[in-house]
Amino acid sequence: MSSDRSSFFGLSPAIPLALLYAVGLLPACSAGTSSCEVVESRTLADDEASPEGMSALDVLELTQPHLLALSWLRTPDGQNPTNADPDATVSVDVAIERAPGAVRHVVTEQTGSTEENAHCGANLYIPVRLTITTSDGALQDSFTGDLVHGAERPGAPWIIARFEFADLSGTLRPTAAGASGEVHVEFAAEPRGWIAVRDEVRGQDAVTESWVMAGSWGDVPPLEN
């Protein structure tokens, strides 16, 4: 399982744009017809400061373990996207540790339209192992991917990791057969995160991907009805 730098596409109409902007779910590397083009990429030692002044060790210091209340969510139309209990009182324990692999310092520049800020610039990518344990047993799992810090989503290190529900050690399963999952964690001064369900619907001429938030912790705005 690995992280995905791009954010979410083919989003379910149930998710309002205001929420997606508020929690940073719209693509950070594209805006309108803009895109971020890589102009520089190099590896750094863990203790080597980037040109922006932060080393991988500095960034990892920001990713303190946290234990917070977790809310399993229903969709705006009242459906439960997973087998978790939205009425249960649940906590989530989140931790990060360094994983094998080289630290990368990547610089991108915005190309195309400049009407919107595509959040291009310098980012550090640090291979990590993200461990998430919920008190209800839904997640008892570790995910590998890149912890990202820099221009793409300023303010805090973050990680997105996709997974297949069948690969989980925990009991969490989707309501829609064949759907996959995604976990996002931001290590800000007040950490937050969410778990999403992704599902592909294959039509005669196209494939549409839906996305719905299944659970969250920290300061994540609720879905609107």
**pLDDT one digit per residue (tens) for the chain, 225 residues:** 333 333 333 333 333 333 333 344 444 444 457 788 999 999 999 999 999 999 999 999 999 999 999 999 999 899 999 999 999 999 999 999 999 999 999 999 998 887 778 789 999 999 999 999 999 999 999 999 999 999 988 879 999 999 999 999 999 999 999 999 999 999 998 999 999 999 987 777 787 888 999 999 999 876 544
Structural domain contains residue 123:
yes
Structural domain contains residue 27:
yes
Counted domains in the chain = 1
Structural domain contains residue 119:
yes
- Give me the residues paired with residue 149 across strands: 124
Distance between CA atoms of residues 43 and 33, nearest Å: 30
Structural domain contains residue 11:
no
Structural domain contains residue 1:
no
Range of the domain at 127: 17-217
